[in-house]
Amino acid sequence: MTFLGDFRDLLVREPKHFAPRQDDENSQYTSFCYRAKSCYMCFACDYLEDSFYMYHSQHIKDCMDGMSVWESELSYECMDTVSFYNCDYCWNGANNRDCFLCEDMRGCKNCFGSSGLRQAEYMIFNIKFSKEEYLKKVAELRKEFLENGVWFNTESRIMKKFDEVRFSVPHAQWQQIRCDECVGDYNTNSKKCYWGFDLDNCEDSTYVWNCFNTKDCVDGLYVHSGELCHDLMSVHTVYNVDSSFWMIGCSDCKYGYCCHQCEHCFGCTNLKHKKYHILNKEYSKEDYFKKVAEIETELRSQGIYGENLIYLAMKDVELGMPEVLN
């Protein structure tokens, strides 16, 4: 039996998480979430509380029906936003509060149906109003908007006017905040990242998406607090980890699947607080490095060294589904 075959048998034999999550509280109906509290139907989110139907968001509270919402509170139907408070139906913005149906706004307050503004207040369709006029008009416009199918009704009077406004202002090629030498979109506080998207505080990384506090990483999806990593998905606080999935607090591991607080593990799954393991079997430090060298030589001879062995091991496996009892 080859290492790949043994690895396949191990992955098939070991139980799988139906909804991986870590340090959650009262959030049973979530998946791929870290430190969620009293949340429902949230996916791929970190540090969230009292939120519902959220995806790919972090550091949020009292938010609902949003995607890529960061560091926000009391927001509804928002997307690709940073530091929002009490905003509804907004996207592509940062540091806004009390805004409704706005796009590409930064540092704005009390705006409705506006686009492309900076440090603005009491604006309706990019036109300035007094506070009293604004509050009166917005109350009427919000009622009309909600009664006429919100933004799904593109033929409504409000949506037509809003589209007219947002298509009349220039838009930046990339949505980036405090970034240096980055190629990608929706990035903040990052530098020297190529083809990165939805990054925060990342550096010297390539082909990464939805990562934060990450440095010197390549080919990563949901890499949070990682360094010197390659080909990872859904990991947190990892160092020098390669070709792995759902790893928490691990270092110097390769081909790992659902391991927590492990070091120097190779081709392992469902381990916690382990060191010097290969295929879930413990070795001495000297034997571990000798065995790993032998396995890598075997993988090179097969032409698959450097590939993601989790994918190669499982791609042809048919996982049977239990019969549904009537």
Give the residue-averaged pLDDT of 38-50. 96
Within a domain: 198: no
Within a domain: 183: no
Token duo for residue 138: 């917005």
For 47-61, give one letter per residue: b (16+ CB within 10 A) or e.
bbbbbbbbbbbbbbb
The number of distinct structural domains making up the chain is 2
Token duo for residue 17: 């998480």
* Rounded distance between C-alpha atoms, residue 67 and residue 60, angstroms: 11
For residue 325, pLDDT over 70 is answered with no
Give the residue-averaged pLDDT of 78-101. 97
The string of DSSP letters for 188-203 reads ES-BS-EEEEEEES-B
For 21-35, the pLDDT digits (tens) are 888 999 989 998 989
Strand pairing report for 33-37 and 30-31: unpaired
Asked if 263 contacts 253 with a C-beta cutoff of 8 angstroms, the reply is yes
Q: Give the number of other CB atoms < 10 A from CB of residue 149.
A: 12
Question: Do both 117 and 226 map to the same domain?
Answer: no
**Within the chain, where are the H helices?**
3-13, 131-147, 157-166, 285-301, 309-314
* First CA to last CA distance, the chain: 41
Q: What is the pLDDT of residue 217?
A: 98
Q: What is the pLDDT of residue 303?
A: 95
Within a domain: 176: no
Question: pTM for the complete prediction?
Answer: 0.87
For 161-213, the pLDDT digits (tens) are 999 999 999 998 889 999 999 999 999 999 999 999 999 999 999 999 999 99
Q: What is the pLDDT of residue 150?
A: 85
Token duo for residue 36: 């969620």
Range of the domain at 262: 213-314
Within a domain: 190: no
For residue 16, pLDDT over 80 is answered with yes
Give the residue-averaged pLDDT of 264-269. 98
For residue 319, pLDDT over 80 is answered with no
Label residue 318 by pLDDT band (50, 70, 90). low
Average pLDDT, the chain: 94
Asked if 135 contacts 124 with a C-beta cutoff of 8 angstroms, the reply is no
Q: What is the pLDDT of residue 322?
A: 44
Within a domain: 116: yes
For residue 323, pLDDT over 50 is answered with no
Token duo for residue 79: 């997307």
Within a domain: 194: no
Question: Do both 27 and 157 map to the same domain?
Answer: yes
